[in-house]
């Protein structure tokens, strides 16, 4: 590889790192009053739904599969119990 192409590649890498550093993620605190629990593993905050990773709770509905009536009843019972 020629010396000029090595320098060009180095400059591209440096530029990419600087760009990534400038576009770093920024997180802001969320007030507890802004969070709504939709079901056991889903919350709603700031206009978006967030699924909690690592939790497997009964579903009230899902696009991925048909929710059986017993699972749906359990999910509703837990949701009612948790909001009391």
- Residue 42 included in any domain: yes
Q: Is the pLDDT assigned to residue 1 strictly greater than 60? A: no
> What percent of the chain has pLDDT above 70?
87
CB atoms within 10 A of CB 43: 15
pLDDT, residue 6, reads: 84
Q: What is the dihedral of CA 56, 59, 63, 69, to 10 degrees?
A: 130
- Residue 5 included in any domain: no
Tokens 């017993």, located at residue:
70
List, for residues 22-60, the tens digit of each pLDDT value: 776 677 888 999 999 887 788 899 899 988 888 878 878
Domain that holds residue 50: 32-83
- Residue 37 included in any domain: yes
- Residue 57 included in any domain: yes
- Residue 13 included in any domain: no
pTM score of the predicted model = 0.44
Per-residue confidence band for 79, with pLDDT thresholds at 50, 70 and 90: low
The domain total for the chain is 1
Contact 41, 56 (CB under 8 A): yes
């Amino acid at each position: 590889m020629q010396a000029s192409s090595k320098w060009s590649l180095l400059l591209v890498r440096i530029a990419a790192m600087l760009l990534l550093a400038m576009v770093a993620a920024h997180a802001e605190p969320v007030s507890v009053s802004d969070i709504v629990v939709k079901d056991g593993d889903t919350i709603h905050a700031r206009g978006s739904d967030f699924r909690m990773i690592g939790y497997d709770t009964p579903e009230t509905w899902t696009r991925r599969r048909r929710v059986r009536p017993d699972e749906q009843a359990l999910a509703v019972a837990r949701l009612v119990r948790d909001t009391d």
